């Protein structure tokens, strides 16, 4: 047997150590719930509902942490039908969910009004939602549910105001909740822009670390919105535009639209997501001639591998790489509950062999790359890239099988051009 070099031994040790780290140290997942409100003011009562579902086959440990407007700990009363022992005031609560288990928390509807936000951390991916129940004189007025918010530094949302839309006598407003999950203070700038993109009003506020702010847009833009019925707009008594929200640190937010105080959820769209093409795999796309086409990058591609036997499923994605540009591909083998075994390849049009090929095993322990010279080597286990000379039509090919016992498994690719 040939003697291994010191370099080979170090590489082998690194791969072994990386595999141990990936297998033994589950990463935390974080979820931001930008508004939690509980309690009574006059004849109005607010209750927040938080629902956890563990889609994993493994036991899942989670921690719910509550913060107030100033970023300090906030305590609210919580109860749970599935966890009778949960009953009292909590600023932090830890729960263990069994595989496929659902647990619901309800705020207690206390005597005084408390508002803030919540962060959820778990050692496995979760499904989390928060709901807002509003009662007046004990009669239900509104019940809506929203998904957790993502943390970004730029968002936009609709702004449609009127006192006669969709019918006379109806008034519109928007409520937003902004939170700062980072460790430093955040300055947030809000701009109200009309239907042509002209800024007609602006405001700014500061969120301390872990801070929270909830307000109506009529408060934020009080210098303009009372005048939105100005005759200079084409439709009297209406304003159609959008709100731009930017920050010098990542923040999370939700928005609700009020129509005569009946609320519905409004998407606060990340500017990054809005500028990223999202492509959901469409079958058939099993060869070069029926590939799904990406119009631009950055792009997020989501697909499934449907083969469970020895024969692989193939998915093809076509993209034009301009001259001198680098296509970077970040493959993710495992989504929640997914156990795909797959290889990601990049083919240049009319070539006989893939330019780059990467195999992902089930634990993400290592990834092998075969370059254009046929040399196999282990490299950075996060992404691979390809730089063109002249402009080239390329195909990103995903091939592999689903895990045993599964009809299909999901994957996601993030593609970027630099």
Q: What is the CATH number of the domain that holds 137?
A: 2.60.290
Q: Under 8 Å CB-to-CB from 251, ≥6 apart: which residues?
A: 151, 152, 153, 178, 179, 180, 181, 182, 186, 188, 207, 245
Q: Specify whether 256 is located in the same domain as 285.
A: no
Biggest alpha carbon distance in the chain?
Answer: 88
Domain span including residue 350: 277-417
Question: 229-267: per-residue pLDDT in tens?
Answer: 444 444 446 788 999 999 999 999 999 998 888 899 999
Q: Specify whether 296 is located in the same domain as 370.
A: yes
Element (H, E) at 368: strand 367-370
Please identify, among 85, 111, 146, the residue that sits at the C-terminal boundary of a domain: 146
CATH number of the domain within which 404 lies: 2.60.120.380
Position 23 in a domain: no
Alpha-carbon distances of 46 from 105, 213, 369, rounded to whole Å:
14, 17, 55
Task: For residues 251 and 149, give the distance between their C-alpha atoms in angstroms, rounded to a whole number.
Answer: 9
For 307, phi and psi rounded to 5 degrees?
A: -90, 130
Q: Specify whether 263 is located in the same domain as 283.
A: no
Q: Specify whether 127 is located in the same domain as 180.
A: no
For the ranges 2-6, 66-70, 400-404, the lowest mean pLDDT is seen at 2-6
Q: What is the pLDDT of residue 98?
A: 96
Position 19 in a domain: no
Question: 272-316: per-residue pLDDT in tens?
Answer: 766 677 788 888 888 888 899 988 788 888 888 877 677 888 999
Element (H, E) at 272: helix 271-274
Q: Specify whether 268 is located in the same domain as 247.
A: yes
Please identify, among 146, 172, 200, the residue that sits at the C-terminal boundary of a domain: 146
Q: Specify whether 131 is located in the same domain as 251.
A: no
Is-contact 169 188, C-beta < 8 A? no
Q: Specify whether 76 is located in the same domain as 191.
A: no
CATH number of the domain within which 165 lies: 2.60.290.11
Question: 164-203: per-residue pLDDT in tens?
Answer: 666 666 678 899 999 999 999 999 999 999 999 999 999 9
pTM > 0.75: no
Q: Specify whether 178 is located in the same domain as 250.
A: yes
Alpha-carbon distances of 200 from 188, 190, 223, 224, rounded to whole Å:
17, 11, 9, 7
Q: Specify whether 281 is located in the same domain as 368.
A: yes
Q: Kindly write down the DSSP assignment for every residue of 155-191, as one continuous string.
A: EEEEEEEESSSSSTT--EEEEEEEE--SSS-EEEEEE
Please identify, among 226, 254, 274, the residue that sits at the C-terminal boundary of a domain: 274
Position 51 in a domain: yes
Position 116 in a domain: yes
Beta partners for 140?
135
Position 1 in a domain: no
Question: 36-64: per-residue pLDDT in tens?
Answer: 999 999 999 999 999 999 998 889 999 99
Q: Specify whether 163 is located in the same domain as 191.
A: yes
Q: What is the pLDDT of residue 331?
A: 67
Beta partners for 378?
368
Using the structure block, give the residue that is written with the tokens 């709901």: 131
CA 103 from centre of chain: 22
3-state SS, 321-333, equals ECCCCEEEEEEEC
By C-alpha distance, which of 101, 106, 100, 66 is closest to 86? Answer: 106
Position 409 in a domain: yes
Position 301 in a domain: yes
Position 158 in a domain: yes
Q: How many domains does the chain have?
A: 3
Q: Specify whether 298 is located in the same domain as 354.
A: yes
Q: Which two tokens stand for residue 336?
A: 């929640």
Task: For residues 299 and 280, give the distance between their C-alpha atoms in angstroms, rounded to a whole number.
Answer: 11
Q: Specify whether 281 is located in the same domain as 412.
A: yes
């Amino acid at each position: 047997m040939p003697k291994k070099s010191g370099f080979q031994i170090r590489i082998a040790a690194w791969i072994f150590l990386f595999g141990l780290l990936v297998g033994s140290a589950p990463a935390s997942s974080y979820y931001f719930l930008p508004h939690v409100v509980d309690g009574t003011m006059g004849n109005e009562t607010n209750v927040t509902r938080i629902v956890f579902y563990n889609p994993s086959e493994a036991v899942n440990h989670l921690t719910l942490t509550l913060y107030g407007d100033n970023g300090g700990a906030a305590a609210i009363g919580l109860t749970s039908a599935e966890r009778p022992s949960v009953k009292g005031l909590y600023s932090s609560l830890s729960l263990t969910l069994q595989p496929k288990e659902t647990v619901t928390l309800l705020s207690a509807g206390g005597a005084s009004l408390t508002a803030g936000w919540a962060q959820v951390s778990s050692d496995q991916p979760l499904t989390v939602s928060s709901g807002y129940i509003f009662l007046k004189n004990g009669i239900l007025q509104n019940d809506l549910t929203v998904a957790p918010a993502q943390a970004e530094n730029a968002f936009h949302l609709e702004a449609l105001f009127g006192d006669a839309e969709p019918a006379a006598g109806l008034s519109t407003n928007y409520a937003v909740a902004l939170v700062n999950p980072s460790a430093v203070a955040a300055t947030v700038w809000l701009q109200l822009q009309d239907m042509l993109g002209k800024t007609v009003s602006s405001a700014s506020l500061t969120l301390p670390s872990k801070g929270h702010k909830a307000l109506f847009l009529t408060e934020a833009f009080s210098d303009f919105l009372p005048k939105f019925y100005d005759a200079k707009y084409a439709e009297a008594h209406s304003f159609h535009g959008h709100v731009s929200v930017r920050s010098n640190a990542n923040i999370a937010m939700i928005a609700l639209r009020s129509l005569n105080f009946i609320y519905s959820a409004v998407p606060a769209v990340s500017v990054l997501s809005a500028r990223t093409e999202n492509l959901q795999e469409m079958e058939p796309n099993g060869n070069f001639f029926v590939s799904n086409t990406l119009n631009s990058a950055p792009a997020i591609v989501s697909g499934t591998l449907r083969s469970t036997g020895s024969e692989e499923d193939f998915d093809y994605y076509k993209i034009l790489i301009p001259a001198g540009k680098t296509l970077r591909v970040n493959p993710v083998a495992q989504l929640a509950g997914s156990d795909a075994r797959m290889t990601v390849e990049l083919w240049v049009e009319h070539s006989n062999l893939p330019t780059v090929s990467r195999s992902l095993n089930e634990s993400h322990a290592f990834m092998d790359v075969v370059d254009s010279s046929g040399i196999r080597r282990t490299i950075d286990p996060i992404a691979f890239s390809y730089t063109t000379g002249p402009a080239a039509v390329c195909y990103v090919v995903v091939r592999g099988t689903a895990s045993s016992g599964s009809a299909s498994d999901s994957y996601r690719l993030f593609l970027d051009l630099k």
